[in-house]
């Protein structure tokens, strides 16, 4: 006698929908956190720029600490990193909406749930990331 699988009662689809919504919620929370961080960094950058504009001090030769120019460059880099993170989160949300979130952009195979838990914006499986082929390992997220 053959073994017939039980009918799909829709429980599997409901579980998938719940998981998809949990992923969306996590990515939305990440997006909100990145926007808040970017706002704070932007405020810090504006304060540094204002300090530079109103200062006549020669901070390039100040033995007491970092120069304002260095601080401005450091904060600008943090702001750039936040912008890149925002793009990665938005791409991940678009993949969720398209139904391709857990599909590797390199090989088309599945991305392990543990990898997505650790790196929710990744679009590559571990095999592709470790691949010597640059086309497979290049991640946009």
Work out the pLDDT band at 3, boundaries 50, 70, 90.
low
> In the chain, where are the structural domains located?
19-100, 102-141
- CB-based contacts of 140: which residues, under 8 Å, 6+ apart? 88, 91, 105, 123
Tokens of 70: 């260095």
Q: Name the β-bridge partners of 110.
A: 103
Per the model's pLDDT, the better-predicted residue between 135 and 31 turns out to be: 31
The tokens for 45 are 């950058």
In angstroms, the Cα distances linking 54 to 47, 57, 140 are 11, 9, 40
* pLDDT of 125 over the 70 cut: yes
Phi and psi for 51 in degrees, rounded to 5? -65, -40
Q: What is the pLDDT of residue 53?
A: 73
Q: What share of the chain is helix, strand, coil (3-state, %, to 5)?
A: 65, 0, 35
Give one DSSP letter per residue of 68-134, joined into a string.
HHHHHHHHHHHHHHHHHHHHHHHHHHHHHHHT-TTB-TTTSSBPPHHHHHH-TT--S-HHHHT-S-H
Query: pTM (2 decimals)?
Result: 0.74
């Amino acid at each position: 006698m053959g073994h017939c699988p039980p009918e799909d009662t829709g429980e599997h689809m409901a579980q998938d929908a719940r998981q998809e919504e949990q992923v969306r919620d996590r990515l939305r929370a990440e997006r909100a956190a990145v926007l808040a961080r970017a706002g704070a960094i932007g405020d810090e950058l504006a304060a540094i720029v204002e300090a530079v504009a109103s200062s006549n001090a020669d901070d390039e030769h100040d033995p007491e600490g970092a120069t304002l120019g260095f601080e401005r460059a450091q904060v600008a880099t943090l702001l750039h990193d936040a912008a890149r993170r925002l793009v990665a989160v938005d791409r991940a949300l678009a993949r969720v909406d398209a139904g391709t979130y857990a599909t590797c952009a390199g090989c088309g195979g599945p991305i392990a749930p543990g990898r997505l838990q650790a790196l929710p914006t990744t679009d590559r499986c571990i095999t592709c990331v470790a691949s010597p082929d640059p086309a497979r390992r290049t991640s946009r997220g």
